Amino acid sequence: MENRNQIAVFGLGFVGLPLALSFAMRGAKVVGVDIDTRLIQELNQGITHHLEAYQGESIQEILKTQLAFGRFEATADPTAAMEKCNSFIVTVGIPVVDGNGYMGHLESVSKTIAKGLKKGDLVVIRSTVVPGTVRSFIQPILEESGLKAGEDFFLGYASERIAEGKAFDEFENMPTLVSGVNEASAKATEKLLKIVTKAEIVIASSIEVVETSKVLENLSRDINIAMVNEFAKFTKKMGIDIFEVIKVANTHKRVNLLYPGPGVGGYCIPNAFYYLKPRADELGVGLELSAAARAINKGTPNRVAEMAVKNLQVAPKDAKICILGMAMKDYSSDDRMSPALDVIEALQSQDIEVAVYDPAIPAQHPYLADRLEDALQNAHGIIVLAKQDGIDFDKLEYFRGFMSGDKPFIIDTRNIYCKELVEGKGFVFEGL
């Protein structure tokens, strides 16, 4: 089988960049392709804001090393990339807009690849998609090249299963599911992934099986979190700690409850329901449990905002609230679809001034403060939404010195604080 060491990765985001570098670290020649010219310029200068590491080496160090060795380069020119490569990996996603998946980005990259596709090339889709997308949507576009999938070129699907912050390790050690339009495509995909993956690679019977399993993996977490977010309201009324309840329950060997939070963020889990729903509607299958879970998690940021409003000692229009951590999860630089954005919107809808401190977020927001002290200044309360290494949450007395009112509040959604300790420092405390 043809050597697959010349690889183009389309999409250099939180999945694509560490995947591209994972291949480069193992000797492959990798061209990363993205339409964001500013991103391309930064990457070729060795700049990235991702919080990833591998065996003690940061992604920034890995990027600079692979650039120096000539094993990785970034470009906005797909034609040049495809001329150099014979394997193409697509990590471009399907954003959800108003509850509907937008296929435009995936369509565009598929058309781009079709224009440069050569006999013997391998195309691997690693995006999370609506089940049936590869065969019914992507394959026909690629075959506009005049080449036939499974005969003239290989077409495979491998679901992406990494967690941000653990990408390098999980690309290497997470069991991986693959399939293809035929056996030869599945085998070619398996061979390519074995350059990086040491764990078991399972070849499933069809692309549709892998597409569906990926959506269900994400949806199962949405449902699990919805259950504990709902149950947190019960334990709160009972006067007991939901985090302790879950810790105790998880001592059962067949129980694995996740922890509640201010909602469910990121690009994967919140979108899973919307990836499955179009196909379910087509088939006339109801998704009542999944829909209910999505509604619970989507509504949780409003519940957090309501806690804050309830604890204000001034009118909302006169209030300022400091939010600590706005990433979509702890120790992340990704604020896409973060529940923090919904908490902020809910507070601002009541004319409350919001100031946010999160040193890991590179994105620009008008309410994002450069310094912790600026976010705390004259605030009437704090909402903790994400843990970050650049925030010292233990400095309660320091926080208090900048804040307004006799009894500012702290709402802790991440189980950082002990209630007695916080109240002993002069705060009103509320947890989930």
Is 85 among the residues known to form the active site?
no
- Reduced to 3 states (helix: H, G, I; strand: E, B; else coil), residue 359 is coil
Q: Which of 85, 268, 322, 418 is catalytic?
A: 268
| β-bridge pairing 122-125 and 381-384 | unpaired
| Contact (CB, 8 A) for 337 and 266 | yes
Instruction: Find the angle CA(331)-CA(335)-CA(339) to the nearest 5 degrees.
Output: 95
Q: How many CB atoms lie within 10 A of CB 106?
A: 26
Count of positions (residues) in the chain: 432
> DSSP E strands: which ranges in 110-231?
122-125, 154-158, 176-180, 201-203
Cα 273 to the center of its chain, rounded Å: 15
Question: Which pair of tokens denotes residue 224?
Answer: 């699990």
Question: Which pair of tokens denotes residue 122?
Answer: 């391998």
Closest CA to 3 of 22, 21, 29: 29
| Contact (CB, 8 A) for 187 and 214 | no
Residues 6+ apart with CB under 8 A from 275: 94, 101, 128, 129, 130, 131, 215
Closest CA to 202 of 217, 221, 218, 189: 189
Q: How many CB atoms lie within 10 A of CB 104?
A: 11
Q: Which residues does the annotation mark as catalytic?
A: 268
